[in-house]
Amino acid sequence: MATEILFVNLPPYESYYAENVPHLGMLYVMTSLRDHGYAVGYLDCARRGTRLHQVMEKIRETAPRLIGFSVDTDNLFSVAHLSALLRSEFGDDLKIVLGGPAAQGHPDEIMARCPADVLVIGEGEYTACEVADSLLRGRGDLGGIAGICYRTREGLVHTAARDPIADLDALAFPDRRFLPDPSAYTVTMITGRGCPFKCTFCFEGRMGNRYRHRSPENIVAEMEQLLAARGRAFISFNDDTFTSDPDHTMKVCRLIRERLRPRRDLMWFCEVRVDVVNRHPELVEAMAQAGVGRIQIGVESADEDVLRAYKRLNVKPAVVEKVVKQFHDAGVPSIYCGFIVGGPRETMQTMERTLEFARHLLVDVAPGSFECNASFLTPLPGTDIRMRPADYGVRLLDPDLLTSSNFNYCTAETETLTQEQINNFRYRFVDQFDHEMRKLIPLLPWRVIEAHARLYNSFSIATAYWERFGYYPRLIEYLRLLGEGRFERADDLSDDEILGRFPTRLYAPIAMDSGRVTVTKGPTLLTLNGLGSKIYALCSGKLTTSQIIDELRGALNGEAPRREVLRADTLEFVRHLDRNYAIFLKDF
């Protein structure tokens, strides 16, 4: 059957972080249209190197009657550009329908920029079917469809608002077979929609979208489907409100433990509200036992005046510290916190306070699991700060966000801070954390390092620490060798077991000075004394530890200490080399 409706995924301008990330909103709507009887296709332009001529050729080849785009702040201009090209080539016979998160924030601006026929405002599964029926099958008038804005000769028409979908379980699971190669995409899900909070920098809670969640049974059923297709998966729950209803979260975690094999076949990510977790600390252990491997916390600032302006006063620094420590103590490998610089009434002192708090979390509270980033305040359309910047002590430099992409360029100033000051502070924030994290790596216990390695080796999740492990090739080689339990660490073996193993050097350049060896390219620089250099030289993988001791006794020409002393010293040194990722212990 020829494709009637083609969805085209135009990524944000910095498409590197959208590549191979499925557009769940599109998948939900495409599945709904397919089940409604339409032949639906999908063109993913988020892949690196996608060219305009390839996109146009695919559209000509597919010859759809309707094309759908999802619009957000970061791809609006791309959608406008391609829509104009399509309108120019295919005329009014090709129907263009838009939707997406930005539709609720500034629908008139979107329709002014894009020559689209219809803009779907709000959730699109049912609305899209009604719009397609009207445009393609002549069933019903657009004016009778709730939740849209459409174009007429007289101008734009806004219909009545559509109520949010009450029963999310009634929606079919998004069919990932629409993706060109489903196995190449990350695994994402949503557990609920809407938001009960009213943060002034976010439009999600300002749109009247009451919070609704899927039932725990429905959520875990989709997880089972994903694991049946994948075998093993890291699932990202992409909604902002996973922990908003503690009872619901506890039930989801219980079902995961009962019906799946967390940590073995499954690990997952979610966003966390620290004020909710602080009131319900039982969530921490429940989530850890259910396989949570990474959480994200919106901290934003360590200054309470700034937090008050964000309407996030319950997210106090003391509460953040307490919850971060709880997740760290529960063994969650990656605790990611987001900060904003250049926010309402921000000063250099408030930003310094935030930086010092973030450093405290990194070094003192959760070393080895705390990660963070700082983004610029970006006044998004539909947010309180964008609509009333003067009330927040903010001056908009680029209201159209022409210079901003993914919040990586400063577009607003405060009463006391210039764009340049805010930009340079963020640069220092990011640079200092890179330096501090690398300093921490030699101090991290093995269980912490192994947790990051497991996330990467088993689930292809590269945490900020894993990325920094790459500064130390010796450590990376060690982790690869010990991955999936192929070898034991020396600290896990008895003396007799070590004596029967074959200490084997990792490939790493060494420096030599007067016969003494310095082992490089690792978290620690190992400068060995004379005896240590001799032991290291014999760790070629050809001799057991016991045979190395015999070789040393012979080489020392009667100057060797008693055998039991040499044995103890050699065993301790082998453990020292292993702890510092300089050797591993083969068993044959």
Element (H, E) at 476: helix 473-482
**Beta-bridge partners for 6:** 41, 67
Instruction: Output the pTM of the full model.
Output: 0.92
Q: 348: pLDDT confidence band, cut at 50, 70 and 90?
A: very high
Element (H, E) at 91: none
Phi and psi at residue 245, in whole multiples of 5°? -110, 100
- pLDDT in the model for residue 574: 97
- Please, what are the domains in the chain? 5-158 (3.40.50.280), 186-468 (3.80.30.20), 490-586 (3.90.930)
Distance CA 103, CA 125 (A): 15
Distance CA 274, CA 314 (A): 8
Mean pLDDT over 23-32 rounds to 96
- pLDDT in the model for residue 241: 80
Instruction: Identify which of 357, 362, 361, 510 has the alpha carbon closest to the alpha carbon of residue 439.
Output: 362
Half-sphere exposure of 307 (CA within 13 A, CB side): 19
Q: 461: pLDDT confidence band, cut at 50, 70 and 90?
A: very high
Instruction: Provide the strand spans (E) within 24-94.
Output: 40-44, 66-70
Q: How many C-beta atoms lie closer than 10 Å to residue 61's C-beta? A: 8
Query: Which runs of consecutive H residues, i.e. helices, occur in 260-316?
Result: 274-279, 282-289, 304-309
Q: 558: pLDDT confidence band, cut at 50, 70 and 90?
A: confident
Q: 240: pLDDT confidence band, cut at 50, 70 and 90?
A: confident
Instruction: Find the length of the chain.
Output: 588
- pLDDT in the model for residue 204: 66
Distance CA 193, CA 165 (A): 9
Q: 445: pLDDT confidence band, cut at 50, 70 and 90?
A: very high
Q: 404: pLDDT confidence band, cut at 50, 70 and 90?
A: confident
Is 216 a residue whose pLDDT tops 60? yes
**Residues 482, 489 contacting (CB under 8 angstroms):** yes
**Beta-bridge partners for 504:** 540, 584
Mean pLDDT over 256-283 rounds to 96
Distance CA 563, CA 229 (A): 58
**Residues 342, 413 contacting (CB under 8 angstroms):** yes
Tokens 């999802």 label which residue? 70
Q: What is the mean pLDDT of the chain?
A: 92
Is 357 a residue whose pLDDT tops 90? yes
- pLDDT in the model for residue 106: 85
- pLDDT in the model for residue 482: 86
- pLDDT in the model for residue 14: 54
Q: What is the pLDDT of residues 284-306, one digit of tens each?
A: 999 999 999 999 999 999 999 99
Instruction: Provide the strand spans (E) within 160-291.
Output: 187-189, 192-193, 212-213, 233-237, 266-272
Is 205 a residue whose pLDDT tops 60? no
Instruction: Identify which of 228, 182, 219, 236 has the alpha carbon closest to the alpha carbon of residue 459.
Output: 236
SS3 content of the chain, % helix, strand, coil (to 5): 45, 15, 35
